[in-house]
Amino acid sequence: MIWAFAISILIAAGFLLYQWALPRPIPGVPYDYDAARNLRGNLPEMLAYAKTNGRLRPWFTSHTLKHKAPLVQFWMIPFTKPMLVLADYQEAQDILLRRTKEFDRGQRGADVFHGVVPNHHIAMTSADPRFKRNKELVRDLMAPGFLNEVSAPEIYSKTMALVDLWGLKAQLAEDRPFDARRDIIDAAMDIINAAAFSFDGAMTAITAVADHLGTQFRSVLPRLDHKIRMLTDSELRRNFSRKDAMISREINKSLGRLQSGDGTMTSALDHLLQREMNAASKAGRQPYFHSPQISDELFGYIVAGHETSATSLSSDHQDVQAKLRSALRDVYNEALGELRQPTVDEITKKNVPYLDAVIEESLRFNAPLPVFGRETTVDTVILGHKIPKGTQVFLPVDGPSFKLPGFPIADTMRSETSVEKHWGGQWDAADMHLFNPERWLKRPEDGPVIFDAQAGPILSFGLGPRGCFGKRLAYLEMKIVLALVVWNFEFARLSAPFNSPEAYDAITTMPKYCYVELKKLH
């Protein structure tokens, strides 16, 4: 009798514990009923999606489409709060720009970077006292002076090396496609190396650690995944050590330049060390040049510059390519008449609206990061729903509002600032799924065609104080690279299997195949 009673108590306790552990939905926000009755939540569905599609990021948009709602919830990790997906540009803009006291960088985003660059500002919340100091440390790296005087010439020089290489490959290929992936990756790495360290040459360890960082975006528990990999992968540990040793050597070289030179700073690292000198002098302390903050900020600068600053002109859009080349020739007419390359000053200082439009449409159509994450720092409201503090909110940038018609939302459901202060146009639902740079151009009756950066929804680099720090560098690199490759080559239309649109998730979204068939024009 006693045993039977004890067993009954255990069964009842187990049932209550099971019920307690089940996911608890936020009232009123759509969700999968089966996921709410499963301790693993949506995790099995997400893993199956990733296995079938080879990537996870598009799942967030697909979840909103499945429920036909702009705000949905899901459970990625057992025994945690529900997470949200908000698929609406107007509300996303409001959250990123105007509701920063209610929303900060998401914990998952911080976790992804924590293992590799724990002392980089991207792995910190805005309330972290280190965040402000780190942003001050790197402030000069996106200043117009540094970009134009240091970054732009290096981008130009390395792009011309790529042009020379592709000219030779085009000749050897004899009108056949070749794989350009390695060339593009190496060129991007050479560009950012030179700007970061003031030296040339690829860095195997840096690339290996960056590749490891890319795997963290596909991990459900990135902090744990990083620790396991570091414990079990001796080559990864060696690459971390090599990366740290290389950065330490370059710091010493930069110090030598700064202490013995004329004060001219020729690299990102020079600027970081000068900032540390100034901060130490102001605080009355000794400078700490080999600090984890300087090392991580420098490594983050290299990885971000390498990963997010490349764009591509699809060979499927022959009309766009021809129109862009014509626009470049019209503006860089002196270079055309003198049978020479446009100079770096011509590219960076002369206005080519159609070039800006092609870059912006490429970013809209193939965003480097198709989803951003934020976390509620207080109890708040999204689209009329009460959302508790500590809720992760994912903001897709490639679905409704961007390339698909947005969900209808009454103003009464929106936040006050969203209704009163939102800006920018809206895309025509009839063609928003198509690649069309013309959507970014305005044609005033009494003036020339102009590029309109606010023509419609785009969030490729985020917005607000936690938007992508390297946005200006990315645009500069895209402008120079795209101008020079289109000036020098005609990209032939590729047939299957060379024109595959397949992609995979790394730090950014990367094409699975990257073939080109080129005809040298100059």
Q: Which residues contact 140 (CB under 8 A, 6 or more apart)?
A: 146, 271, 275
Give the position of tokens 């102009």.
Answer: 450
* Residue 59 near residue 46 (C-beta atoms within 8 A): yes
**Neighbouring C-alpha atoms within 13 Å toward the C-beta of 459:** 31
Single-letter residue type at 295: S
| DSSP conformational letter for 437 | G
Alpha helices in 308-381 (DSSP H): 318-331, 333-337, 344-349, 353-365
Single-letter residue type at 302: I
* Residue 163 near residue 180 (C-beta atoms within 8 A): no
In angstroms, rounded to a whole number, what is the distance separating the alpha carbons of residues 85 and 372?
10
Q: How many CB atoms lie within 10 A of CB 6?
A: 10
Q: Which residues contact 35 (CB under 8 A, 6 or more apart)?
A: 23, 41, 42, 45, 74, 75
C-alpha 134, offset from chain centre? 19
* Residue 363 near residue 471 (C-beta atoms within 8 A): no
Tokens of 308: 């997010």
Give the position of tokens 């990885």.
Answer: 303
**Neighbouring C-alpha atoms within 13 Å toward the C-beta of 370:** 23
**DSSP three-state, residue 71:** strand
In angstroms, rounded to a whole number, what is the distance separating the alpha carbons of residues 137 and 469?
13
| DSSP conformational letter for 400 | B
* Residue 74 near residue 42 (C-beta atoms within 8 A): yes
* Residue 305 near residue 195 (C-beta atoms within 8 A): yes
Q: Which string of DSSP letters, residue by residue, matches 172-203? A: HHTS--EE-HHHHHHHHHHHHHHHHHS-----
In angstroms, rounded to a whole number, what is the distance separating the alpha carbons of residues 314 and 517?
11
**Helix-helix angle 268-283:181-197, to 10 degrees:** 30
Q: Is 468 annotated as a binding residue?
A: yes
Indicate the Cα dihedral angle 455, 458, 464, 468, nearest 10°. Answer: -130
- Give the bridge partners for 511, in sequence order: 503
* Residue 353 near residue 451 (C-beta atoms within 8 A): yes
Residues contributing to the annotated binding site: 468
Residues contributing to the annotated binding site for heme: 468
